[in-house]
Amino acid sequence: MNNISNIFKEKNLKLTPQRYAIYKFLKSVKTHPSAEMIYAEISKDYPTMSLATVYKTLKTLIELGLVQELNVGEDNFRYDANVAIHPHIVCLNCGKVDDIENANFDNLKTDVLNYTDYDVLSYKLYFYGICSECKKGR
Ligand SMILES: [Zn+2]
Ligand SMILES: [Zn+2]
């Protein structure tokens, strides 16, 4: 975690305990929480912190390249401290967002390179479905 304090220092930004707590929380979960979910969690330890602070901190963390924002549809924004390009799957019933691990999408990228004349700089891939817990409840 030394990394983040150096990055903040370089940009002359103050790494406040709240900012650090938000980043640490995002690093520790794989649930891709929304700002509201982050707020609900962090305000347990920092009751005076506002939701606006969470939004501002997320914006800073995104600008610094420490967090990526996922727009999983209908302007439902979720946050991920894993900034590598990786595909996600979203449950349409409960809104849960998971990483798709161990799947190989290199062929897809190769196809895009083959069938268009674009240089591909990045991509965002979202799948939508019904998660296992929601399937059980059906
Ligand atoms: Zn679900
Ligand atoms: Zn992810």
How many CB atoms are closer than 10 A to CB 45? 11
pLDDT band at 88 (very low <50, low <70, confident <90, very high): very high
The DSSP code for 38 is H
Which ligand is in closest contact with the Cα of 131?
Answer: 1
pLDDT in tens, 73-83: 888 899 999 99
* Average pLDDT of the residues of the chain: 93
- pLDDT higher than threshold 90 for residue 129: yes
| Alpha carbon of 42 to ligand 2 centroid (Å) | 20
| Alpha carbon of 76 to ligand 1 centroid (Å) | 15
What pTM was estimated for this model as a whole?
Answer: 0.88
Which ligand is in closest contact with the Cα of 86?
Answer: 2
Q: Domains in the chain, start-ordered, CATH in brackets?
A: 1-83 (1.10.10.10), 85-138 (3.30.1490.190)
